[in-house]
Amino acid sequence: MTKTLVHISDLHFGDPKGVLNRDDVARVVRALLQTAGPGALLLLSGDISFKGEERGYAEASEALSQAVNDVGFPRNQIVVCPGNHDVVVSAPGGSPFSAFDAWSANLRRDKRCTFSGDHSCRRVTFPEADFLVINTAYHADLEYGFVDLPKMESVLAEMGMMPVSGQPRIALLHHHLIPFARNDHSTTRNAYAVLSALVRHGFALVLHGHQHALLELGIGDGSLQICGVGSFRYVTPGFVNGASIYRFDEKGQVSTQHYAISKDAPGLLRAFTDF
């Protein structure tokens, strides 16, 4: 059976300059899930709200709930991680991720994708795929990404050295691992150690957001693919809002379809091959 992943990122709800409203987002997510078909997993790699605004999380909950309810998509097949915009340094209770955690728990109806306390890295596993979900903003510095390596190694030890046959390993995180431009200072600072560990443990994909750009890079012999996706409703000069769908076949080979999100596209969604 083909394993299908829908990857979106950087919704930035609460940003007054967002190009899609709540109903638009619900419409696009619904179309992506329908295109992906039954059994898909929906992955969101951070920056759900704009600057951690409470209103942004409320709008995100409404839009995503509308989409998954419309197609009968199981909420426990959603995997999420925080981004730098999800950090609230002055949050009540002391955790900079309390707002994100409340949003995630409400969306999924459980706490498997919450990141306060010592939960900087988590394992979320399905028969279709085994996920290492990393909070690259756990250090609460808005300027760059960083991974809690001891916690990551602890989760990897739980997963074991090599994946179960037919269950690809995927890392989901917000910050990118490879510098994107000359003045790119927001990359994950300890990326070499992260990538080395993922290669050793047989990961097939690293999916991230943050750069608002469609990025693809193979590591080593190409068995590990690092893939960034465009933002979802954010105005980024020179870049197109987008989403990606990944499909693993029975032999573990992955194919990708990238989509642009635009007010000019029929149904707001256009495959890149249609340009």
Phi, psi dihedral angles at 172 (to 5 degrees): -120, 125
Q: Is the pLDDT of residue 273 over 80?
A: no
The per-residue b/e assignment along 144-169, b for 16 or more CB within 10 angstroms, e otherwise, is bbbbbeebbeebbeebeeebeeebbb
- The distance from CA 41 to its chain's CA centroid, rounded to whole angstroms, is 11
Hey, what amino acid is at 224?
L
Predicted pLDDT at 275: 45
Residues 142/175, Cβ–Cβ less than 8 Å: no
Number of Cβ within a 10 Å radius of residue 206: 26
90 against 8, higher pLDDT: 8
Name the burial class of residue 274, with classes exposed (0-12), middle (13-18) and buried (19+) by CB atoms within 10 angstroms of its CB: exposed
* Contacts (Cβ under 8 Å, ≥6 apart) of 88: 52, 96, 97, 98, 99
Closest by Cα among 173, 166, 128 to 253: 166
Predicted pLDDT at 158: 97
Q: What is the pLDDT of residues 246-260, one digit of tens each?
A: 999 988 899 999 999
> Can you tell me the distance from the alpha carbon of 107 to that of 79, in angstroms, rounded to the nearest whole number?
10
Strands (E), the chain: 3-8, 41-45, 78-81, 121-125, 130-134, 169-172, 203-208, 215-219, 224-228, 242-248, 254-261, 269-271
Closest by Cα among 26, 134, 27, 28 to 79: 134
Mean pLDDT of the chain: 94
Q: Is the pLDDT of residue 91 over 90?
A: no
Q: Is the pLDDT of residue 32 over 50?
A: yes
**In terms of DSSP bridges, do strands 254-261 and 242-248 run parallel, antiparallel, or are they unpaired?**
antiparallel
Reported as a pLDDT band with limits 50, 70 and 90, residue 93 is low
**In terms of DSSP bridges, do strands 224-228 and 215-219 run parallel, antiparallel, or are they unpaired?**
antiparallel
> Can you tell me the distance from the alpha carbon of 42 to that of 6, in angstroms, rounded to the nearest whole number?
5
The per-residue b/e assignment along 47-66, b for 16 or more CB within 10 angstroms, e otherwise, is bbbbebbeebbbbbbebbeb
* Average pLDDT over every residue of 23-39: 96
Q: Cα-atom radius of gyration of the chain, to the nearest Å?
A: 17
Closest by Cα among 28, 31, 32 to 4: 32
Q: What is the DSSP letter of 117?
A: T
Residue 47 three-state SS: coil
Closest by Cα among 74, 76, 83 to 9: 83
